Amino acid sequence: MSNNNPLAVVILAAGKGTRMKSDKPKVMHELLGLPMINWVLNSVEQLNPDRTIIVIGQGMDDLAAAVAPHETVVQITQDGTGSALKSAMGALQDFDGDILVLLGDTPLISLETMSGLISARYQCAQTGISVLGMYLDNPYGYGRLLIDNEGTLQDIREEKDASAEEKQVNIVNTGAFCMDATKVNDWLGELVNVNASGEYYITDIPEIAARKGVKTSVAVTNNPKEVQGCNTRIHLSELEQYAQVKLREKFMNEGVVMQDPSSVYLHHDTKISSGVLIEPNVYFGKDVSVGANVHIKAFCHFEGANIGDNTIIGPFARLRPGSEIGKEVRIGNFVEIKKSQIGDRSKISHLGYVGDCTMGKDVNFSCGAITVNYDGFDKHQTVIGDGTMIGSNVNLVAPVNLGNGTFIAAGSTITADVPPNALSVERGKAKTIEGWAAAYRKRKGG
């Protein structure tokens, strides 16, 4: 059978963060810096569904904001997945098509897996439901899929309600379903909560449908990690590690070299071009873009930074939000840059701070030099022209503007603008008192 039906996606996301020991809704906990619910939505959007509805709990305004502009409905009483789906059906009363039901705490489900589940709904004319299953060596805690000899699902038995024989079944429910929308309300109307948890389960629907002559087919994912649920901080860390591995592999397959991939931590929106070399222990936070053939040395930390081609950074360098690094720049050890533009071929080789600065091309910013950008109340700008030489241990007290080609003598504190091609020196006159040290030690008995 072919599938030309409209598609609505319902994502069940009303769970609290109780087992996470958190006040946040469970699906708002992050993988690679992105809430779990947004991972699911990113996959769902690839299906181009006609409707997407997220079922949330009462008071979950932050969750509603995170999924906007998608529609949300509130599950007033959190008494099971069946009750959650019923909450969504109020917004789908006139919908004639397929309803894909997903769990908001299974963030890594893929387009391929969802498409296979939808296709399974059309196994034959009598098939009104498909359920996504997976094989597990240790199925403890999961609902078992009880399948007859013809491959049709007869029932889903939750762990708490399963017999000893049923607990031996190792194909389990993942929580994802595709259903004929025209029949869902009838099936939901027959749900009862006679079970160990006293809840209304979606998993009871296949048995209800079977009594009415409607079959349930089973689609199986070959990758259990895609549909691994997340109920605890330990589960979250396991998913984080898996997602990190997949993203690292993606970049390496695109030509990025990672000397120790397990020590490189990425954000979901990290962008790294081909030819980049990354040494161990590098952290990419939110909104970082790395150009081609960049060399990132060990122990660097980046957030909100764009790094130009053929630049060398580190070791032990930190780029904070607003850092715009040009091409062929050299940023060395123990350098911190914040909200600054660094021109092509400029060098900040070691022990420096550059904040709220526009630095031109071919600047040499020597060891120990800093921009003094904060007066205790406001931040101020430093402008450094092309080809400027900043000596060691220089303080540039903003606001200050250094013209092109200026030289700033080592040890100077610059508080006024410097014209192009000038030398600026600010040092107190040295005073030497001969014999003072020896006399001092003698007085102290040294």
Catalytically active residues, by annotation: 350
Backbone angles phi, psi at 100, to 5 degrees: -95, 120
How many helices (DSSP H) and strands (DSSP E) are in the chain? 8, 36
Place of tokens 């094989």: 135
Q: Which two tokens stand for residue 398?
A: 């903003």
Rg, Å, the chain Cα set: 31
Nearest to 389 by CA among 358, 367, 415: 367
Asked if 203 contacts 116 with a C-beta cutoff of 8 angstroms, the reply is no
* Cα distances (Å, whole numbers) of residue 371 to 16, 243, 293, 314: 46, 39, 29, 19
Structure tokens at 29: 């906990």
Question: Going by C-beta distance under 8 Å and a sequence separation of 6 or more, which residues neighbour residue 262?
Answer: none
Q: What is the three-class DSSP state of 261?
A: helix
Rounded CA gap, 423 and 405, in Å?
9
What sign for the dihedral angle of Cα 416, 386, 315, 242? positive
Block residue for tokens 């439901």: 129
Cα pseudo-dihedral 436, 439, 440, 441, rounded to 10: 130
Residue 9 C-alpha from the chain's centroid: 23
| 3-class SS of residue 332 | strand
Q: How far apart are CA 223 and CA 245, in angstroms?
A: 15
